[in-house]
Amino acid sequence: MEEVKAVVKCGNCQTVLKERTDIAPADRNPCPNCGSMARAFEVSLHASITFKGKLTAKGKRAGAKKHFVIQVMGDDFFRKMKKWTKLSRVIDREHDSYREIFTDPDTGQTIHKCVEPLSQHTGHGSAKAKENKS
Which residues of the shown chain bind Zn ion in the complex (CB under 5 A)?
10, 12-13, 15, 31, 33-34, 36
Residue type, 10: C
Q: Specify the residue, 7 or 34, whose C-beta has the smaller distance to Zn ion.
A: 34
Residue 17 Cβ vs Zn ion, minimum distance, rounded to whole Å:
8
- The rounded distance, in Å, linking the Cα atoms of 26 and 38 is 11
Residue 22 Cβ vs Zn ion, minimum distance, rounded to whole Å:
20
Residue 9 Cβ vs Zn ion, minimum distance, rounded to whole Å:
8
Q: Specify the residue, 32 or 59, whose C-beta has the smaller distance to Zn ion.
A: 32
Length of the chain: 134
Q: Specify the residue, 35 or 105, whose C-beta has the smaller distance to Zn ion.
A: 35
Angle at 118 between CA 114 and CA 122, to 5 degrees: 75
- The rounded distance, in Å, linking the Cα atoms of 128 and 55 is 18
